[in-house]
Amino acid sequence: MSTSQKFSLELFPPRTPEGAAKLPATLKQLAATGPEFFSVTYGALGSDQNGTYETLMTVVRETGVEAAPHLTCIGSTRMHIAALLNQYRDAGVKRIVALRGDLPATAYSPAAPGEFHFANELVAFIRESHGDHFRIEVAAYPEMHPQADNISADFAHFKRKVEAGADAAITQLFYNADAYFSFRERCVKAGISAAIVPGIMPITGYQNILRFTANCGADLPRWIRLRLEELQDDKPALLDFGTEVVARLCETLIKGGVPSLHFYTINQADPTLRLCSALGIGRR
């Protein structure tokens, strides 16, 4: 495998003082592999939305690597988003991951007129207000977004996000390379030239991978689920198996010519470092 393979790493704002204290050391280990950029989630997994900016600043301070905030628009106002965009621009940010965000679990009241409902509106707003200053990444769902009416409607909505001005897309996690290749082929046929970067979730536990895949509607192949179930009480063996499965997925994707890989680190260095080492990618 080529060491020149590009990749990026995703973090979330730490939710506990212990998590915050651990972050600089984790960042140093991850930065040493030479990622293209770090991205920092916004409001995901119940995290504090203000934490994104702080984590972003920690990344820049501790590593000097480019950092990209995720920005979600659901339930927000143009004024609030405009203020955040200005804050990021002033801080030197050049890249944004633009998302709708998950609908709140509590009773949701539709946003008032003039506010945002879908990610394509956020992309258009960023382009209107900041021209080409930001590189804009959006989310893509090779196995369909779980709330979509059907896979073709979801694809049509994805196309609208790109037409609104997205430069690239990062996919939801998946364990079936064909889902990615089929999605990419559909993009080519539809004249979409934006880079489609696979989102890679390392496998580090049986219960958490069942939860992650169920939440986002990704297929966990039966043979993987059965092996993980069998190995769930033998952590070292489960980690070996998980690394082997995900490294094989990445190898297939790299051979298929992916522009980059985006690793969901879950704020841990080891799972991503194990994958980089198995793949022979990144600085060592």
Where in the sequence numbering do the catalytic residues fall?
10
95 binds ligand FAD (CB under 6 A): no
Evaluate whether 121 touches 92 at the Cβ level (below 8 Å).
no
Contact assessment for residue 246 and residue 275, using Cβ atoms and an 8 Å cutoff:
yes
Rule CB under 6 A: is residue 145 a binding residue for ligand FAD?
A: yes
Between 75 and 282, name the residue whose CB sits nearer to ligand FAD.
75
CB 3 within 8 A of CB 35: no
Strands 168-173 and 135-140: parallel
- What Cα–Cα distance (Å) separates residue 80 from each residue in 20, 42, 115, 116, 230? 26, 14, 10, 11, 48
Position among 51, 142, 198, 199 found at the interface with ligand FAD (CB under 6 A)? 199
Examine residue 208 and tell whether it contacts ligand FAD (CB under 6 A). Answer: no
Query: And the tokens for 215?
Result: 């939440």
Query: Taking the C-alpha atoms of 212, 141, 270 and 31 in order, what is their torsion angle to the nearest 10 degrees?
Result: -140
- CA distance readout (Å), 51 to 12, 15, 43, 58, 84: 9, 9, 8, 10, 13
Stretch that binds ligand FAD, among 106-114, 151-159, 223-231, 240-248 (CB under 6 A): 151-159
Q: How far is CA 23 from the centre of its chain?
A: 18
Q: Which of residues 248-277 bind ligand FAD (CB under 6 A)?
A: none
CB of residue 233 to ligand FAD, shortest distance in Å: 31
Residue of the chain from 130, 133, 157, 225 that contacts ligand FAD (CB under 6 A): 157
Q: Which of 23, 31, 59, 70 binds ligand FAD (CB under 6 A)?
A: 70
How far apart, in whole angstroms, are the C-alpha atoms of residue 218 and residue 173? 7
Nearer to ligand FAD, 93 or 99 (CB): 99
**Shortest Å distance, C-beta 117 to ligand FAD:** 7
* 99 in contact with ligand FAD (CB under 6 A): yes
- Nearer to ligand FAD (CB atom), residue 4 or residue 106: 106
Which residue, 10 or 239, is less far from ligand FAD as judged by CB?
10
Which of the residues 15 through 44 are near ligand FAD (CB under 6 A)?
41-44
Cβ atoms of 279 and 253 within 8 Å: the answer is no
111 interacts with ligand FAD by CB under 6 A:
no
- Interface with ligand FAD includes 228 (CB under 6 A)? no
The most distant pair of C-alpha atoms in the chain lies apart, rounded to whole Å, by 53
Q: Segment contacting ligand FAD (CB under 6 A): 21-29, 143-151, 218-226, 244-252?
A: 143-151
Cα torsion at 100, 102, 105, 108 (round to 10°)? 10
> Which one, 42 or 53, has the nearer CB to ligand FAD?
42
Helices 119-130 and 151-163 pack at an angle, to 10 degrees, of 10
> How far from chain centre, in Å, is Cα 77?
24
Using the rule CB under 6 A, is 147 a contact of ligand FAD?
yes
Note the residues at the interface with ligand FAD (CB under 6 A). 41-44, 70, 72, 97, 99-102, 118-120, 139, 145, 147-148, 153-154, 157, 161, 170, 172, 199
